[in-house]
Each structure stands twice: as structure tokens, then as C-alpha cells.
A and B are shown apart, each in its own frame.
Chain A
Amino acid sequence: MARISLKDVRKSYGSTDVIRGVDIEIEDGEFAVFVGPSGCGKSTLLRMVAGLEDITSGTLSIGDRVVNDLPPKDRKVAMVFQSYAIFPHMTVRENVAFGLTIAGASKAEKDAKVAEAARILQMEPLLDRRPSQLSGGQRQRVAIGRAIVRKPEVFLFDEPLSNLDAALRMDMRMEISKLHKQLGTTMIYVTHDQVEAMTLADKIVVLKGGEVQQIGAPMELYHHPVNAFVAGFLGSPSMNFLDVEVVEANGDAVTVRNGALDPVTVSRASGDYVAGGRALLGIRPQYLVPAADEAASALHGTVGLAERLGTETIVDVALKDGKSLIAALSQDAILEMGAPIGFTFDPAKCHLFAARSA
């Protein structure tokens, strides 16, 4: 097990900067998830930790060692790839034992460790099969098996579930979570799926454009996002952002409004706001409560598309000012398209961001 530290780590391809000075500390045994949209640099960062990409500048440490110039094999890391990367010409047993074979382990040692990995991952019956005879989920197990037999200090996962179907993805997500609890090893997991990030992580690192946007525990990021990007990226459906006018700014209390929104005072505003200026008001779809009557509501619009999922209803609402927002109603509701609808919400659960950060 090991602590991982990235200090002002940068990566450039020629004049193009893909990682722009990243500082991340991952504690021993922690499950860290790098999350962000395509092209944000999360996979590059993971590959830099693995040693598959050079570091242009900065310091990367695993445990007590600076590993900037160490080849992958000397970093004591194991990696699970998006495409599984299991060797098609080897059986499952040979694949899982590959690292041990390379290290010159005895047959008895290999057999014992492969058997243990197979037991943990419940793949004993697959050991003598070829990868071509396995399903996607089984291949992923083989890839994980290959990673765990070497008892590395750090596990790296590069979007390991993105090739699986939704049901299998959920199963494997739980397996990976269990595996982490069982092994207690430091893990870094890269994904663009915020659900995976929220459910697996001890610590989430949100990346955009090669820069860290925010680092923290999932619920900390969910409830206290530092900017509109983080707020919009985490949570499903995504947070609604209303372009609002600042009516009054008084210390921490900022009153805002727009064409569809009656004046509302938000007390958790960060940043500087001046009366007459613009801002973004973020409201999560789950916090919108349909008002009993139009007069009592703070937000006014009409019902657009409604998706009834059984446990909740996702409604696309056309606001009075021509914009739209999404509301997630906590029960099954029958809504007529085009009918007027109003919402109330708790201002304490709203987020106010500077307009430019949208």
C-alpha cells in the first residue's frame, strides 16, 4: 500500500498542454476517482502515474519514492484497462499469472496465487478458457485478477466498466468496491461516469481542461461545489442553472431574480456580487418541489416532456423566460404536457456562482 502525491505535475505534447500543474494527494488505502468529460486529461494523468506517459515537469511520488523517471515495472502498480488488454493467445490462468511468470515465480507460487485470485473474483471455472470464450464481464474479471495476484501497492483503473452493459456495470462496480474493502490497497479509478465516481470514491478529483477543479469526498463535492462546472458534473440529472440578475447583495445574502423566478435570497453565496450584475443560480432537479398553486410558487413554467420512471418523474419544464429546466419529482406523477406548473425550493440548497464560470 502506498500514498500517492502529485505536485505541480504537467504534461505537454509539443506546445499543447494537456495537464496544467496538478496537485493531488491520495492517502494510503484511499479510493480516488478522477472524473471529468472526454479530453479533460484524466486518463493521461493515470497513465503518468502508471509510467506509460512521461511527466513534463513536477513531482510524482508513490510511497516514499519519487517515480518520475521509473519505468512502469518498477512502480509497483497494476493497471486495468478499458479494453481489458488480456492476452488473446493465453488461457485465463496464464493471463492471471502473467506478471508472476515474468517475475520468475515458481509454479507452486503461481498456482496458489492464481487460485486465490480466482476465488476472490469467483472465476475458478474459467481458468482454462481462452479470452475469446469469455463474456465482457468475465474478461474484466480476468484483467482484475491479473492485477491483484501481484499484490501491487497501487491499483489503477482506466474506465474499466465503460465497455459493459448497464446491469453488468452495476454488478462490477459493487465488486470493485468490495475488492477495495477486502484488499485495502490504494486505488485510482478513472471514469467519465459521475455515478461511478459518487458510489466508489473516498475522494473525487474533478478535472477539466487538464486542471483540477475540485478535490474532496463525494458528498462534499455534491453539496459544496466550488464552481458551476463541478456542480453541473456531479449529480443526476444535472444541476439546473438559471441565468439571474442580482437584485441585492448584502454580505453572504444575495437576492436574485429573472423572468421566470421571483426574487429569492440565497445565503450561501461565494464570490463577489453587486446589485444589477449577473449570476448563475444552481438548483438540483431533486430540490424542486411542485407548488400546490401557481401563486405560491417561486419558479413559473409549463410542463414539457415527462419521463415516468416509477420511483420518480423527470420533467422538462419550459420556463416563462424561454429557458428550460429539469425537475425530478420524488414520486410517479401524471403531468399534462403544456399545463402550467410552478415550483418552490429551499434557497439554502441553492448555489450561486459567478456568471462567467458557466
Chain B
Amino acid sequence: MAMISGENHGLRLAVRYAVLGLIAVIFIFPLVFMVVSSLKPDQQLLLDTKSLRAFLPVGDISLDNYVAAFQRAPVGLFIFNSVLVTGATVLLSLLVCSLAGFAFVFINWTGRELVLGIILATLIVPFETIAIPLLLLMSKLPWLGLDGLTWGWLNSYRVQIVPLVADGLTIFLFVQYFKDLPGELIEAARVEGATWWQIYRRVVMPLSGPILATAAILKFLIMYNQYLWPLMVVQDESYRPVMVGLQYFFQLNRAWGEIMAYLSLITVPVLGFYLVLQRAFIASIASTGVKG
């Protein structure tokens, strides 16, 4: 009996690994194709798509496409812009949305259910429907900078950051996580004399590692992949993010190798960010059941 169940266990494990392996291959092949293609000249790239060679770094392999990509567009600037905008938005979003979640869960105030309901309702409103009114609003907002008071936020980093800091999904994630924290910890801190800010900073935030990682990754991906909004509000190349920068490669003389090189380059920050936070991200999904 023990042997049979041992064999069964081994078989089950083998099937499980086979399925997981297959899924991993399905996910990784497009990435392999992208990186491998970025190393090939256009003609070979297109020819190789007819066979498995498309996934192998064979033939005329070089970094020429990367050099060409840098010549065609200010790739470094675009990546810098995207990392800056995304990084700032993620940090501000974690602060603002966690504070909002804190207020909804721990502080008893009149109308909080209603306000939370309204915020959650925004989850079903597509961004495209508010894009135009938001654009009009942004074009008229005041700003006090080094040049004194100016009007209109278009063509700036802040127009890509501020409107996207708070969102219903991130607030919802924090609300759900905070609800699972033991309420007595908060009450103990209150009795010990802590203010709400001290409770947030000294008790709640140190216990929120998993949800901070989850929210950061989700927000990072959303922000890094922004296309429509920056396309609408940024005409100046110096503020342009990576996704909008992709346009440069679809204009005259379309070169697939260069496109693949550009895509490979802009994938690097995403992978780096994910690798840094992956352990906390997986722990969060495992513990809260939040799906990314």
C-alpha cells in the first residue's frame, strides 16, 4: 500500500511539474522571442518566424538593433521619465491609499461607508470616460513653481503623476488588509496614548509589508504601461514615457529588430522591480488571497 501511494505521489508530482513547466514555457516564450529577435537583422528575423529558430539566438547575432534604437529615439530619457513618474506615483499612491484605507477601517466617522462605496463604485468607471474632463481640468490647474504662478499642468511630470495617485482598487486592497489586522492592536496603541498618525506609522505600516508590496507591484505595472493619458497630456519629448516612445519605431522605416530591442530595454525595469518585491508579493497573495 505504502509503495503504491508513494508511486501515486511521484506520478502526481511529475504531472504537476509538467503542467507548471508548460505554463512557464507559454509565459516565457514571448519574452525569449523578443530578446532573441532583438539580436537579429530584420530580414533574418522575419524568415526565422517560420521555424523554431525564432526562439534561438542563431545566425547573424549582434547588438546593432540596440545601437539603432538609441539613435532613433532618446531611449534612456524615456526610461528615466517612466521610472521617475512610476516611482513617484507608486510611493505617493502607497501613502495616500494606505492613509485612506486606515481612515475607512480604524477611524469611526459619519458617512465613511457611503464614501467608501462611492470610491469602490469608481472601479467600474473606465478611465477613457473621464480622460477628456480630466484633461480639461489639468489644462487649467494653477502651479506655483520657480517661475512664479503658472496655469495649466500639461507637459510636465506632475500631470502624469498627481491624477493617478489615488485609485479605488489600491484603496480597496488596503481596506481589506487592514480589516484583517487585529483590532485590539489598534485599541492597545490608542490606550497607550498614540495619536492616529502614530498608530498608522508605528503599528499599522510595519505590519503591512505584504500589502504594500502587492499594491506597489500592481500600481507599478499600471503606471509603467500608461499610454493613453501621457499621450494626451505630454507633447514635449522631454517628459515622454516609454510606452508613448514606442511610436517612434512605428513611423517611417519600421524596423522590427529595433522595436524588439526597445521592448527588451523597457522590460528591464519591470523585471527588476518584480524581482525585488517578488517574495513579499507571493507572500501577500498566499496570505490574503488577493489576486494580482
Contacts and interface: CB of A to CB of B under 8 A. Distances in A.
A81 B187 contact: yes
Interface in B184-229: 184-185, 187-195, 198, 202-203, 206-207
B190 A146 contact: no
Contacts of A98: 189, 192, 194, 202
Interface string A87-122: 111000000001101110000000000000000000
A101 B195 CA distance: 12
Contacts of B194: 73, 98, 102
Contacts of A102: 189, 192-194, 198, 202
A186 B137 CA distance: 60
Nearest to B186: A85
A150 interface: yes
A85 B185 contact: yes
Nearest to A152: B191
Given A87-B203, A89-B206, A102-B198, A81 B190 contact: no
Contacts of B203: 87
Given A73-B190, A79-B191, A102-B192, A85 B184 contact: yes
Contact of A99 (B182, B185, B187, B192): B192
A99 B184 contact: no
A154 to B, nearest CB: 11
Contact of A73 (B182, B193, B207): B193
A89 B203 CA distance: 8
A52 B189 contact: no
Nearest to A52: B187
Nearest to A156: B191
Taking residues whose C-beta sits less than 8 angstroms from the other chain, chain B's interface range is 10 to 19
Majority SS at the chain B contact face: helix
A51 B182 CA distance: 18
Contacts of A52: 187, 190-191
A50 interface: yes
Nearest to B199: A102
B192 A150 contact: yes
B207 A88 contact: yes
A71 B184 contact: no
A42 to B, nearest CB: 16
A83 interface: yes
30 contacts: A50-B191, A51-B191, A52-B190, A52-B191, A72-B187, A72-B191, A72-B193, A73-B190, A73-B192, A73-B193, A77-B191, A81-B187, A83-B182, A85-B182, A85-B187, A85-B188, A86-B188, A87-B185, A87-B188, A87-B189, A88-B207, A98-B192, A98-B194, A98-B202, A102-B192, A102-B198, A146-B192, A150-B192, A150-B193, A156-B191
Interface of B: 182, 184-185, 187-195, 198, 202-203, 206-207
Given A51-B190, A87-B185, 16 more contacts: A50-B191, A52-B191, A72-B190, A72-B193, A73-B192, A79-B188, A81-B188, A85-B182, A85-B185, A86-B188, A87-B188, A98-B192, A101-B202, A102-B192, A102-B202, A150-B192
Interface of A: 50-52, 71-73, 77-79, 81-83, 85-89, 98-99, 101-103, 146, 150, 156
